[in-house]
Amino acid sequence: MIKCAVIRTNDQNRTLDKIRAGFEEFHKSNGRYPTSHEIDSFPLLPSSRQIQRRYGGLPAIRALLKLNGPTDFTKGDYSSLRAKTIGKRAHKIEKEVYDLLVDRFGKPFVHREYFFSDDKRCRTDFYVYGRDKNFLVDVFYPKDRANFVNCLCSKQLTYRNAPQVSDRVIFLMMNRELELEIDIPRILSNKKNRLNPTQTVMNFDEFRKFIKGVSPRHD
């Protein structure tokens, strides 16, 4: 029994050493330690789910490894600064989309924060009334490929829980740098859970072309 316990301890130590090496390798390249999404896409680290199951989560493993810097990126100054940055960016992006829609369709025909479920838990950023068809716009800004896929999966789940949505749904991807780095059509074609026929992913240039083909009600 003692021998088995020693072997198990040695295995655990080797696993921790590999995880520590993975964290340090990420830090060497990025100047900081990874968040949960970055861990999932970094080949030298186990998934965040595995870390959660085995060690109790990312704050716990960072504390166990005695890594310098914050152990919990969801709290404190880091979280506050990140929330402010995301909030400012989201406001700027949504205003850009809103101004474009209002200029084309008129303010009375562009609804912001449109709830499409009876319990008001599901909403889209914009619901637009055109002459011949209406459409919904759900704006998102993924930071990397993994986040892009996760955002889409989350949105698909939201809209699947609201079957009354029959109008066209546009998932508007506003990270213009990311669209140059990833092959969005290939990602969509390789997804096991495909978008339904009413759903489309567009970048901002594609979106501007799309709305030019939709006739406003006030014409």
25-46 per-position pLDDT tens digit: 888 777 778 877 678 767 788 8
What integer pLDDT is reported at residue 48 of this predicted model?
A: 79
- The ranges assigned to domains in the chain are 2-64, 78-212
Report residue 70's pLDDT band, with 50, 70 and 90 as the boundaries: low
Rounded CA gap, 125 and 94, in Å?
8
What integer pLDDT is reported at residue 7 of this predicted model?
A: 40
Please compute the mean of the pLDDT values over residues 117-134 and round it to a whole number.
80
| Token code pair at residue 36 | 């949960």
| Token code pair at residue 195 | 């978008």
Q: What stretches of the chain adopt beta strand conformation (E)?
A: 110-115, 123-129, 134-140, 168-173, 199-202
What integer pLDDT is reported at residue 79 of this predicted model?
A: 47
Please compute the mean of the pLDDT values over residues 125-139 and round it to a whole number.
92
Report residue 171's pLDDT band, with 50, 70 and 90 as the boundaries: very high
Topology of the domain covering 78-212: Trna Endonuclease; Chain: A, domain 1 (3.40.1350)
Lowest-confidence region among 47-56, 128-137, 158-167: 158-167
Report residue 110's pLDDT band, with 50, 70 and 90 as the boundaries: very high
What integer pLDDT is reported at residue 193 of this predicted model?
A: 85
Report residue 81's pLDDT band, with 50, 70 and 90 as the boundaries: very low
Mean pLDDT of the chain, nearest integer: 80
Report residue 6's pLDDT band, with 50, 70 and 90 as the boundaries: very low
Could you tell me if 98 and 112 are in contact, meaning their C-beta atoms sit under 8 angstroms apart? yes
Place of tokens 């205003």: 95
Q: Is the pLDDT of residue 145 over 70?
A: yes
What integer pLDDT is reported at residue 9 of this predicted model?
A: 55
The three-state DSSP-derived secondary structure of 88-117 is HHHHHHHHHHHHHHHHHHCHHHEEEEEECC
* CA angle centred on 204, ends 184 and 138, rounded to 5°: 80
